[in-house]
Amino acid sequence: MKPLTIQQAAEATGWSQRMLRYLEQSGLVTAMRSPGGHRHYGPRQIEQLQRLRELIGAHDLGITDIAFELRMRTDSSLARAVDDWFGAVHRFAAPEHAGIYRRLAAQQQSQDHRLHTGEKVSVTLTPDSAGSVTDFKVADLSLAAFGRKEIQLAEHEMPGLMALRREFGAAQPLKGKKVAGSLHMTVQTAVLIETLAALGADVRWVSCNIFSTQDHAAAAIVVGPNGTPENPQGIPVYAWKGETLEEYWWCTEQMIVWPDGSGPDSIVDDGGDVTLLIHMGVEFEATGAVPSTDENDSEEYGIILDTLRRSIAEQPGKYTRIAADIVGVTEETTTGVHRLYEFEKAGTLLFPAINVNDSVTKSKFDNKYGVRHSLIDGINRGTDVMIGGKMAVVLGYGDVGKGSAESLRGQGARVVVTEVDPICALQAAMDGLQVVTLDDVVGEADIFITTTGNKDIIMAEHMVQMKHQAIVGNIGHFDNEIDMAGLAKVPGVVKNEVKPQVHEWVFPATADRPAHSIIVLSEGRLLNLGNATGHPSFVMSASFANQTIAQIEVHTKRGEYDKKVYVLPKHLDEKVARLHLDAVGAKLTILSKAQAEYIGVDVAGPYKPEHYRY
């Protein structure tokens, strides 16, 4: 039998391609790899998949049941913990069952099998493990030591967060406050999480993107600086790289509920997914029904509705109770801020919100200088193509677009820009960039990068027209800038995985054109986090210092903020900048009193009016 591609294996076994990848991640099947990195399935793998489907159907099992059984057979420490729990709690258990998992683990404990398994870990520890974290779901706790080393390196590059720990650590302004975070679970975010905890917060975390988690960072946060993989003592995290959409929303649902059944006091959000879930839940609880989807709704919207339908049925009034206790949300990115302003405009915003994105030390640094670094990193790791000499189209010339264009020009690309805003278009032209429409260049450009935060920017009909091996990627927050659903519906198109988060889409030959293909990065999601590791630590220190200060604001000034969207005051923005100057060797000139009076400011600042555009 000739080895089958992942698409052929899906057709032969009845599993979807997404589920086949999940089964491999769970250690339940191991695909062969071609020299080019493509997955192939031989007779043995096909038989495994078919028998697994029969087993699940015959005994009404789920994949997680089988994955947990596999872990029991390969992790002796977990097997002992479960055996001890059964012995302590269920003393009525039949003697023949005593130590069953321990025996199974002893039978199959070869090191090569341990290396083979990459299952998700969801562990409840034994009752005598005082101080242990007991609810989480990450990829592999054995990665914690690696993650801890990277966190320590990042701390050196994040002077803003470390300064806030020193300034507020003794005062504990977040003591006992439950903070729910949904933000890319990276090494840099790990430093933010532990900063919030150092200020007293009781934190739970998920990633805000299915591809952006760095599994070693997630493991390090769960284990904590003083724990071990066998006895984790850190912070609950529900995140792993390569989640399905169903898993993503399940993780979000777990994160907003503490072990005692209560919800968060505040939210750290990136993209607004947690805020959206709670607002939708409250709305549907009020109307008494969760609506159905129609043919125009996205797959993800249907999954959100399914999540809410199940959750509300299990716990009526859950989201209304959660929303009532939230004192505020601090939002990280442009897309999430748009959602907040929509809620405010409609009069439906349920709690105060601080727009962290529009702090100058976030939007003018993270959005520009961070992107300038990480976009090229993502393209290089994903494709290894030579960028110099190629034509690159940057769709959108806001802060993210400016950073993208600068990075591509720095590599020698011939950059053109598309824009809807005449001011941004004029800026691009004055920066020496040609401003075009996508239709002008779709057939000749080599690289296309969307940066708009809007939807339907590159459509399927555009991708069909692109030249052979054109690269398509997105660095806006959501995946709706590129029409991935429409691309999948192009007649005869074939999707081949080159490597994780890199796919070649092959279009069939037509009467006027031979077969050709394009390369899509991170399935239209954030390529700098899906194909690389995101923004560098230093620029994220400024963004996350704003997040930390915003969290202190909503908790220490409870009642002073209405149900509106706010931006941090200028003096706090300037404070964040000051915290980073020493690290780059910058020295400020001090205004004299006469100079300050002449321009109408205080010697200590703020130095610009609120409306000033940097």
Write down the pTM of the prediction. 0.76
The DSSP bridge partners found for residue 203 are 179
Q: What is the pLDDT of residue 465?
A: 97
Q: Give 365-531's CATH code, choosing from 3.40.50.720, 3.30.930.10, 3.40.630.30, 3.40.50.2300.
A: 3.40.50.720
| 128-326 topology per CATH | Rossmann fold (3.40.50)
Span 484-523, pLDDT tens digits: 999 999 999 999 999 999 999 999 999 999 999 999 999 9
The more confidently predicted of residues 423 and 41 is 423
Q: Which pLDDT tens digit goes with each residue over 284-336?
A: 999 999 999 888 888 999 999 999 999 999 999 999 999 999 999 999 998 89
Backbone angles phi, psi at 521, to 5 degrees: -95, 135
| pLDDT per residue as tens digits for the range 44-102 | 788 888 888 888 878 877 777 777 777 666 665 666 677 666 555 443 333 344 444 34
User: Which residue type occupies 451?
Assistant: T
pLDDT score recorded for residue 79: 66
d(CA 454, CA 460): 16
> In the numeric block, which tokens belong to residue 543?
């963004």
Identify whether the C-beta of residue 221 lies closer than 8 Å to the C-beta of residue 130: no
Q: What percent of the chain has pLDDT over 90?
A: 75
pLDDT digits (tens, 9 = 90+) for 218-245: 999 999 999 999 999 999 999 999 999 9
The span from the CA of 475 to the CA of 207, in Å, is: 16
Average pLDDT of the chain, as a whole number: 89
Question: Which of 8, 14, 6 is closest to 32 using CA atoms?
Answer: 6
DSSP characters over 404-421: HHHHHHHTT-EEEEE-S-
Query: For the residues 449-474, what does the mean pLDDT come to?
Result: 97
The residue ranges of every structural domain in the chain are 4-89, 128-326, 365-531
- pLDDT the model gives residue 84: 65
pLDDT > 70: percent of the chain: 87
Asked if the domains at 4-89 and 365-531 fall in one CATH topology, the answer is no
What pLDDT was estimated at residue 42? 79
Q: Packing angle between helix 299-314 and helix 245-255, nearest 10 degrees?
A: 40
Q: Residue 610 above 90 pLDDT?
A: no
Under 8 Å between Cβ of 530 and 522: yes
Q: Class assignment of domain 4-89? A: mainly alpha
Q: Read off the pLDDT of each residue in 408-433 and give the average, rounded to a whole number.
A: 98
Neighbours of 411 (CB within 10 A): 17
Question: What is the rounded distance in angstroms from the CA atom of residue 451 to the CA atom of residue 472?
Answer: 12
pLDDT, residue 51, reads 85
What CA–CA distance (Å, rounded) separates 28 from 519?
29
In the three-class reduction of DSSP (H, G, I as helix; E, B as strand; rest coil), residue 306 is classed as helix
The predicted structure's pLDDT at residue 150: 98
Quickly list DSSP for 556-581. Answer: HTTTSS-SSEE---HHHHHHHHHHHH
Q: In which band, very low, low, confident or very high, does the pLDDT at 342 lie, cut at 50, 70 and 90?
A: very high
Using DSSP's 3-state secondary structure scheme, residue 262 falls into: coil
Classify burial at 258, counting beta carbons within 10 Å of its beta carbon; exposed 0-12, middle 13-18, buried 19 or more.
Answer: middle
